[in-house]
Amino acid sequence: MANAISSTITAETGAAGSPLLRIDAVTKKFGGFTAVDGLSLDIKAGEFFALLGPSGCGKTTLLRMLAGFETPDAGQILLNGSDIAPMLPHQRPVNMMFQNYALFPHLTVRDNIAFGLKRAGLPRKEIKARVAEMVALVRLEGLEKRRPDQLSGGQRQRVALARALARRPQLLLLDEPLGALDKKLRENTQRELLELQRRLGLTFVVVTHDQEEAMTMADRIGVMNAGKLEQVATPRHLYEEPVSRWVAEFVGDINILEGQISRRDAGRLMVSVPQAGIVAAVAPQGASDSGNACVAIRPEKIRLSRRAPVSDTADGHAINRLEGAVSDIGYLGGASIYTVRLDGGAMLRASLANTARLDVDAFGVGQRVVAWFAPDDCVVLGR
Amino acid sequence: MNARPLAQMSRFNIATLAMGLAFLYLPIVVLVIYSFNASQLVTVWGGWSLRWYQSFFNDQAMLAAAAMSLRVAAVSATLATVLGTLAAVALTRGERFKGRTLFSGMLYAPLVMPEVITGLSLLLLFVALGAERGFWTVTIAHTTLTMCFVTVIVQSRLGGLDRSLEEAAMDLGCNPVRAFVAVTLPLIAPAIAAGWMLAFTLSLDDLVIASFTTGPGSATLPIRIYSEVRLGVKPEINAICSLIVGSIAILIVAASLASKLSSGRGQNAAPM
C-alpha cells in the first residue's frame, strides 16, 4: 500500500506506446442486464478522458469497476501492465471522487483530507504537510476545522477533490464531478479542475452526461451506448466526424436527411433525399457508391438567405441549396434556431448568430428562404 | 413546521389537550404526590414526608430486586444492542439474500406478539433445555424481547445513510470492516445509543415475561412490587414507583435526544 502512495504525483510516462490504463474486453452483467459489454479502451498517462453517455449506458458501472466497487465478469483491467480487476478498492492505487462527494459528515475538512493518508500509515508529520499542501491546492485555507455541513457546494466539491488527490493516485476517477454545482460555479470549477490536472500531470477519467463539460475539459471523449463504446475521439473529431448516426444525434444538435446514394462525383457523394432533393456531401473514406445513407449537417453550418447565393461556377455543385419556408423561430439570445420546412417536406434546423442588436432584416415565420450549405460540412452516415 | 402559540388555539382544542394529558398523566402525578405522603394509609393524606423513600432504602429484599432488575436490564440491553445492530446491518447492507423479507418479518414478530405467549414459549424452552431459571433466563428472554426494537431504530438510521460514504472509506484505503468501524459506526452511534436505552427501559418495565422465566431468589423489581401489592398496597411502593418513573423519563428523553442528534448528521446537506 505504502509504495503505491509514494509513487510520484507526476505519473510516469512509461515506455512509449504502453498506456497507463488498459481496459481489455471487460464485461459486467447484473442479472440478465449487460451493463458493460466486452469493452476495450486504452488511456494514456496524463490524459483527461471523459466517458459520455446517456443514463444507463454503463459509464458509471465502468468507473466503479476501475475503482473496485464492481468486479468484471470477464476481461482485464491493466494498470501499468498489472491486472487490478481482482483487487479490492483499498488495494488499488486509484482514487475516486464521488458524485455527491461522500464527505464524512462527522469529520472536519482536515480529517476528511487526512483520512486516506492515516490509513496509508504515513508519519504524522508527513500527513500534516500533505494536508496543508492539499488545502492550499484547492484553496480551502481557513476552513480546515469546519464540518462538511458548514460548507457551500463549491467548497464541498473542493474538499472531495483534495481528499481524493491526497493519496497521489496514479489514476483519479471522477463521477459527475460538477453535477451538483450551479451553472456559473460549474464554469469556474471546470477551469480550475483542468488547470490542476495539467499542472500536476494527473490522469483523469471523468464520467459525465454533460456534453459541454466533456467537450471543454477532455482530451479525448469516449461515447458509450448500451455498454459499448460507440466512438473514442477528441472533442472536435467527435463533433465534426461522428462515426455513426447514433453518435451524431447524441452529441450536439444535427439535421439528418435520409436518402439513397445516387452517384459518386469527384470525391463527392450525391445523395438523393426524397424529402429534400439531391444533396452533395463529401465522401467518407471507403464509402460505397450506392445504397441507403443519411446526410448529417449541423444547424450552425447551414445558412439562410432570401435569394439563392451566386453559385461558385468553378465547381458546379459547390453548394447545396434547398428551398423552403421558415416554420418556427427559437430565440436563444446569442443565436436563434430557425426551423425551415423544405418544399420536399423535410424539416431543417439552422442556427444563426444574432450579430446585430436591432435586426430589422431577420426572417419571420412563413418567410420563403433558401437554406444553403457546403458539401464539406456534411457527413454521410449509414442509416 | 409552524407551531402555533397556545394562546392562538381554540378553547375546544385546549380543553381536549388538557383532558388527554390528564388522562395519561394524572394517575402518575397522584402516585408521585402520594409517595411523599406521611400517612401509613395509602389513601389518606397525612402531610409531606420522605419516610417511604427512607423505608425503601432500608428494605433489603426490595433493594436486591432493584439491583437484579438493573443488572438484567443492563446485560440484556447490551446483548440486544449488539444482536439488533448486527441484524439491522445485515438487513440494510447485506446482499439481497434469499428469504430476506421473511427474516425481517420474523424479526419484528416480538413487537406484536402478546407477551404472555413470548413468556410461556420461553418458559417451555428453558424447561425443555433443563436450564436453571434465574438471572440468565430472564436476561435472555429480555434480549429476545428488546432486540427487535434496537433493530428498528438502527435500521432506519442505516437506511438514511449514504452508501457511498463507506465506499469512499474503502477507496481511501480501508478494508470493508475498517470502513464500517471508521465511518458507519460513528454515524449510527446515536441510534445505537437510543436503541440501548430503549431496550434498557423495556427490560426494566417488564413483568409478564420476567415472571414466566425467573426462578426462585431472582425476582426482578416489577415482580417484587407485584407480589407486595397483592398483600396490600404499602406507601413504600409509591416511592419505588416514583423512582422508576423518574429514571425511565430521564432515559426516554436521553434516547430521543440521541436519535435527534443522529438525524441531524449523516446526509450531505443540499448545496447552498
pLDDT score for B7 = 63
CB contact under 8 A, B266 and A119: no
Angle among Cα B87, B88, B89 to the nearest 5 degrees reads: 90
The strand pair at A368-373 and A320-331 is best described as: antiparallel
A130 touching B (Cβ < 8 Å): no
Nearest residue of B to residue A178, measured between CA atoms:
B271
Tell me, yes or no, whether A143 lies in a domain. Answer: no
Chain B residues within 8 A of A116 when measuring between CB atoms: 171-173
Residue B268 and residue A67: Cβ atoms within 8 Å? no
Q: Are residues A325 and A206 in the same domain?
A: no
Chain B contact for A96 (CB, 8 A cutoff): yes
Question: Does residue A54 sit within a domain?
Answer: yes
pLDDT band at A312 (very low <50, low <70, confident <90, very high): low
Averaged pLDDT, A336-351: 93
pLDDT given for residue A5 in this prediction: 40
- Residue among B164, B175, B269 minimizing CB distance to A102: B164
Chain A CB within 8 Å of residue B268 CB: yes
Same domain, A257 and A191: no
Q: Is the domain of A236 the same as that of A277?
A: no
Question: In this complex, which of A1, A105, A116 lies closest to B268 when CB atoms are compared?
Answer: A105
Tell me, yes or no, whether A87 lies in a domain: yes
Residue with more model confidence, A266 or B185: B185
At A11, is the pLDDT very low, low, confident or very high (cuts 50, 70, 90)? Answer: very low
pTM: 0.77
**pLDDT at position A2:** 41
Look at residue A15 and tell me whether its pLDDT is greater than 60.
Answer: no
Same domain, residue pair A338 and A360:
yes
Residues A268 and A229 in one domain: no
pLDDT at B41: 78
Residues A320 and A193 in one domain: no
Distance between CA atoms of B45 and B36, rounded to whole angstroms? 9
Whether A119 is covered by a domain: the verdict is no
Residue B207 has which C-alpha cell? 413483568
Residues A235 and A278 in one domain: no
The answer on A229 and A177 residing in a single domain is yes
Per-residue pLDDT of chain B (272 residues; tens, 9 = 90+): 455 666 677 888 889 999 999 998 898 898 888 888 888 877 788 888 888 888 888 888 888 998 999 999 999 999 999 999 999 988 887 666 777 788 878 888 888 888 899 899 999 999 999 888 889 999 999 999 899 999 999 998 898 888 899 999 999 999 989 999 999 999 999 899 989 989 998 998 899 999 999 988 888 999 988 888 888 777 888 888 898 888 888 888 887 887 676 555 444 333 33
Give the residue from A195, A211, A240 where a domain finishes: A240
Predicted confidence at residue A14, as pLDDT, reads 42
Backbone angles phi, psi at A228, to 5 degrees: -125, 155
- ipTM surpassing 0.85, yes or no? no
User: Which of A96, A104, A182 comes nearest B171 by C-beta?
Assistant: A96
| A182 and A211 both lie in a single domain | yes
Q: Is residue A147 part of a domain?
A: no
Q: Which domain holds residue A38?
A: 2-93+169-240
Hey, which residues 112-171 in chain B have their CB within 8 Å of chain A? 162, 164-165, 167-171
CATH number of the domain that A359 lies in? 2.40.50.100
Predicted confidence band at A183 (pLDDT cuts at 50, 70, 90)?
A: confident
Is B263 an 8 Å CB contact of chain A?
Answer: no
Q: Do both A35 and A173 map to the same domain?
A: yes
Q: Does A298 reside within a domain?
A: yes
Of B201 and A285, more confident: B201
A97 Cβ under 8 Å from any chain B Cβ: no
Per-residue pLDDT at A7 exceeds 70: no
Report the pLDDT value the prediction gives residue A359, as an integer from 0 to 100: 73
Q: What is the set of domains in chain B, with CATH numbers?
A: 9-49 (no CATH), 59-264 (1.10.3720.10)
Question: Which residues from A are below 8 Å from B186, CB to CB?
Answer: 106
> Domain boundary residue among A240, A266, A283?
A240
Residues A201, A267 within the same domain: no
For residues A240-247, average pLDDT: 92
State which of A182, A211, A240 marks the end of a domain. Answer: A240
Does residue A299 lie within any of the structural domains?
Answer: yes
| Number of domains chain A contains | 2
- Cβ–Cβ contact B6 with A under 8 A: no
Is A148 inside any structural domain?
no
- Residue A329: which residues within 8 A CB-CB, separation 6 or more? A336, A337, A338, A339, A363, A364, A365
What CATH code is carried by the domain that includes residue A177? 3.40.50.300
Q: At residue A114, does pLDDT exceed 70?
A: yes
- Which range among A10-14, A184-188, A365-369, B80-84 shows the weakest confidence by mean pLDDT? A10-14
> CA A23, CA A59: separation in Å to the nearest integer?
13
Structure confidence at residue B108 (pLDDT): 80
A273 plus A322 within the same structural domain: yes
CB contact B265 to A (< 8 Å): yes
